[in-house]
Amino acid sequence: MNQKKISDASGYIKEQLKETPLIGLILGSGLGVLGEEIENPVIIPYTDIPHFPESTVSGHKGQLVVGILEGKQVIAMQGRFHYYEGYSMEQVTFPIRVMKDLGIKSIIVTNAAGGINESFQPGDLMLITDHINNMGNNPLIGKNDDELGARFPDMSQGYDREYIKHAETCANEIGISVQKGVYVGNTGPAYETPAEVRMLKIIGGDAVGMSTVPEVIVSRHAGIRVLGISCISNMAAGILDQPLTHHEVIETTEKVRENFLKFVKKIISTLP
Ligand code: HPA
């Protein structure tokens, strides 16, 4: 990872900000609306930021929104970079390095995911307790920059336990129920086969998606505390006897929009 590229990007962003963002937000498929709640937003399209890749999927906007949410300085990514789009792992996780350089201490990573756990229902929100990297790659492969993090970073608490507890308390307070579980990161872009979903269940997965794992690995490498939230947009292939579509994924995330917004705002307002 090239430190100059990181500081080029963060320098460009800093020029436009008056305050230092403390909380990063990655808004997944259909969940970008949270960015619209940010007050006094500074909006920066990815295409304007030096060395930032361009987002290519519909349902993803491709811009940073920086400002105040629930009294906290936040920096939100409306749209992320996926490995299946053809970006390298370094490109996928570049924004994390940049947000770290800007000063964030915590990150809330969100995604849409298919439910593997049969007690889940489409529309459920799941707090990610842990992940399984099933992508066959790792963003930290290559020469390690010791200034950025350890060669062999600990992943025993990838998802911050205090944050999970905090999020559960918030869910109780606003009267919504949330699931907890293990997120499996697959490359996509094809959805899983029913046989693959059965395998993912056996290896301990509760939900499956095509993002998040690289960003969380790099966040932990950088010492950023992570909270992960999956919106269960559909049941994974083969659980119900029906085909999967991206349309269904977006439709479900739109249905849970109100709960999702309320939940994440509550979490941010009192995040330790
Ligand atoms: N599988 C993989 N990624 C997904 C799914 C799924 O079922 N739903 C939303 N993202």
pLDDT at 251: 84
pLDDT at 65: 96
Mark whether 29 is an active-site residue: yes
The span from the CA of 45 to the CA of 62, in Å, is 6
- Report the phi/psi class of residue 214: left, alpha or beta, with left for phi > 0 and alpha for psi in -120 to 50: alpha
Q: Residue 180 burial (CB < 10 Å; 0-12/13-18/19+)? A: middle
Going by alpha carbons, the residue nearest to atom 10 of ligand 1 is: 113
pLDDT at 60: 54
The DSSP code sequence of 196-265 is HHHHHHHTT-SEEESSSHHHHHHHHHTT-EEEEEEEEEEEPBTTBSS---HHHHHHHHHHTHHHHHHHHH
Going by alpha carbons, the residue nearest to atom 2 of ligand 1 is: 209
Residue 222 Cα to ligand 1 midpoint, Å, equals: 27
Q: For every one of its 272 residues, what pLDDT tens digit does the chain have, with 9 covering 90 and above?
A: 689 999 999 999 999 999 999 999 999 877 888 999 999 999 999 999 999 987 665 555 789 999 999 999 999 999 899 999 999 999 999 999 999 999 999 999 999 999 999 999 999 999 999 999 999 999 999 999 999 999 999 999 999 999 999 999 999 999 999 999 999 999 999 999 999 999 999 999 999 999 999 999 999 999 999 999 999 999 999 999 888 888 888 888 888 889 999 999 999 999 98
pLDDT at 148: 93
The span from the CA of 163 to the CA of 39, in Å, is 24
Tokens of 25: 């937000």
Determine whether domain 3-269 maps to CATH 3.40.50.1580.
yes
- Alpha-helical (H) ranges within the chain are 3-14, 89-102, 161-174, 194-202, 213-221, 246-255, 257-269
pLDDT at 1: 64
Rg (C-alpha) for the chain, rounded Å, is 17
Q: Is the preceding omega at residue 122 within 30 degrees of 0, hence cis? A: no
The span from the CA of 225 to the CA of 171, in Å, is 20
Residue 77 Cα to ligand 1 midpoint, Å, equals: 20
Tokens of 44: 């920066």
- Report the phi/psi class of residue 188: left, alpha or beta, with left for phi > 0 and alpha for psi in -120 to 50: left
pLDDT at 58: 56
235 touches ligand 1 (CB under 6 Å): no
**Cα 239–Cα 234–Cα 219 angle in degrees, nearest 5:** 115
pLDDT at 246: 85
Which of 184, 249, 254 has most ligand 1 atoms within 8 Å of its beta carbon, as the pocket-test mutant?
249
Tens digit of each residue's pLDDT (9 = 90 or more) over 70-114: 999 999 999 899 999 999 999 999 999 999 999 999 999 999 999
The domain spans of the chain are 3-269
Dihedral sign of CA atoms 84, 137, 160, 121 in order: positive
